[in-house]
């Protein structure tokens, strides 16, 4: 059995547990404590160190451990909960969570994360920040229905300031894409698709770098637009999507709505029309169109081609 370490991560503190020795201790997320933790784990030489995603708090821990060349695996919380239930564990505490993570690492031997790319992470952070700023502008616009001129002016000043920050973030992100030849080419390819604008193309470049490197089915699975089959004996349910990269689906929703329902893209509009004629519901059509778009983009990126209209059918 592997020696493994589990780390239960919080905003300012960590609980560390070892398997099978049972050794346990705590630490803070300060730079000093993280350096000491990495040095201690180097001496222990575990086969894997397991932690869960915790809203980004785990990133500084992963970075510190990877700098020490330690094998760190970030495992989805659902897998950890399933493992605990399999073992009959229903109680919950920070110490118990760390021990479960360590036991999971020893039993399942999850693959360590590849080395983190600081530039790629900054790009993802900029995409997330752009989305936050857009949401803030939308919220202020909704609040701007007040009749008091002074309050309306306050909303408008804040909206103007947020728009300025949004422009700065978008410019920084675009400059980073422009300086990378591979990303710049990919963005140009994606923008050649009718109905796919600059923002959506940039989101795909940053948030879905696997485009062109895996199969169409794998891309659909990564984004979470591949329906999961639920069948047992004679009973079968309609497939539903689950998991995947929600941020990619969200970013593609409005562009695909325009492509499929506003004739923004001839291929997706015709595809959506066929599904509507079959009586398919709106949500199913949208997910199917997102999946079709991703498969097209994946093929374009793989083959190094740009969008081209399909040849007319022979008559």
* SS3 annotation, the chain: CCCEEEEEECCCEEEEEEECCCCEEEEECCHHHHHHHHHHHHHHCCCEEEECCCCCCHHHHHHHHHHCCCCEEECCHHHHHHHHHHCCCCCCCHHHHHHHHHHHHHHHCCCCCCCCCHHHHHHHHHHHHHHHHHHHHHHHHHHCCCCCHHHHHHHHHHHHHHHHHHHHHHHHHHHHHHCCHHHHHHHHHHHCCCCCCHHHHHHHHHHCCCCCCCCHHHHHHHHCCCCEEEEECCEEEEEECCCCCHHHHHHHHHHHHHHHHCCCCHHHHHHHHHHHHCCCCHHHHHHHHHHHHHHHHHHHHHHCCCCCCCCCCCC
Q: Which residues contact 164 (CB under 8 A, 6 or more apart)?
A: none
92 and 20 in a common domain: yes
pLDDT in tens, 96-148: 999 999 999 999 999 999 888 889 999 999 999 999 999 999 999 988 877 78
Let me know the angle formed at the C-alpha of 243 by 237 and 246, rounded to the nearest 5 degrees.
125
Segments of the chain scoring below 70 in pLDDT: 1-2, 228-243, 309-315
- Any idea which residue has 């947020």 for tokens? 162
What are the distances in angstroms from CA 239 to CA 12, 70, 244, 280, 315? 41, 40, 15, 13, 37
Tell me: do 18 and 60 sit in the same domain: yes
- Residues 139, 48, single domain; the answer is no
For position 20, which CATH number holds? 3.30.420.40
Q: What is the pLDDT of residue 12?
A: 93
Residues 17 and 97 in one domain: yes
Q: Which residue has the tokens 């963005």?
A: 187
From 127, 149, 179, the end of a domain falls on 179
Residue 157 lies in a domain: yes
Q: Is residue 258 part of a domain?
A: no
Residue 75 is assigned to a structural domain of this protein: yes
pLDDT at 92: 87
Residues 17 and 92 in one domain: yes
Query: How many distinct structural domains can be found in the chain?
Result: 2
Q: Are residues 88 and 15 in the same domain?
A: yes
- Answer yes or no: do 55 and 14 share one domain: yes
Residue 208 falls inside a structural domain: no
33 with 59, same domain: the answer is: yes
Range of the domain at 144: 118-179
Write down which residue in 62, 87, 108 finishes a domain: 108
The answer as to whether 286 is a domain residue is no
Please check whether residues 139 and 50 belong to one and the same domain.
no
Same domain, 13 and 99: yes
User: For residue 244, what pLDDT is reported?
Assistant: 78
CB 252 within 8 A of CB 268: no
Query: What does the pLDDT read at residue 236?
Result: 44
Please report the pLDDT score of residue 145 as a whole number: 75
Beta bridge partners of 188: none
**In the prediction, which pLDDT does 239 show?**
55
Domain finish residue from 135, 156, 179: 179
Residue 255 lies inside a defined structural domain of this protein? no
For β-strands 48-51 and 72-74, DSSP reports them as: parallel
101 with 14, same domain: the answer is yes
313 within some domain = no
pLDDT in tens, 65-86: 999 999 999 998 889 999 999 8
Looking at the fold, whether 75 and 128 belong to one and the same domain comes out as no
Indicate whether 270 belongs to any domain: no
Task: Please tell me the predicted confidence (pLDDT) of residue 148.
Answer: 83
């Amino acid at each position: 059995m592997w020696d493994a370490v589990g780390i239960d991560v919080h905003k300012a503190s960590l609980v560390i547990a070892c398997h099978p020795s049972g050794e346990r201790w705590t630490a803070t997320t300060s730079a000093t404590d993280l350096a000491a933790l990495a040095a201690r784990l180097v001496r222990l030489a575990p086969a894997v160190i397991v932690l869960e995603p915790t809203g980004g708090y785990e990133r500084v821990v992963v970075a510190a451990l990877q700098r020490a060349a330690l094998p760190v695996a970030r495992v989805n919380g659902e897998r950890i909960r399933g493992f605990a239930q399999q073992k009959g564990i229903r109680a919950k505490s920070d110490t118990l969570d760390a021990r479960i993570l360590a036991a999971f690492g020893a039993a399942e031997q999850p693959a360590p994360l590849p080395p983190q790319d600081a530039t790629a992470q900054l790009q993802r952070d900029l995409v997330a920040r752009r989305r936050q700023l857009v949401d803030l502008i939308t919220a202020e616009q909704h609040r701007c229905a007040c009749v008091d001129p002074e309050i309306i002016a306050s909303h408008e000043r804040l909206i103007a300031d947020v728009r300025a920050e949004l422009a700065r973030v978008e410019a920084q992100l675009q400059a980073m894409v422009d300086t990378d030849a591979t990303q710049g080419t990919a963005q140009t390819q994606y923008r050649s698709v009718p109905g796919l604008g600059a923002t959506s193309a940039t989101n795909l470049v940053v948030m879905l770098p696997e485009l062109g490197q895996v199969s169409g089915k794998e891309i659909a699975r990564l984004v979470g637009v591949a329906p999961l089959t639920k069948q047992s004996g004679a009973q079968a349910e309609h497939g539903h999507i689950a998991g995947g990269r929600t941020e990619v689906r969200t970013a593609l929703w409005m562009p695909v709505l325009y492509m499929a329902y506003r004739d923004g893209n001839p291929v997706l509009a015709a595809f959506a029309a066929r599904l509507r004629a079959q009586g398919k519901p709106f949500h199913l059509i949208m997910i199917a169109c997102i999946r079709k778009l991703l498969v097209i983009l994946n093929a374009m990126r793989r083959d190094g081609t740009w969008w081209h209209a399909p040849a007319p059918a022979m008559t």
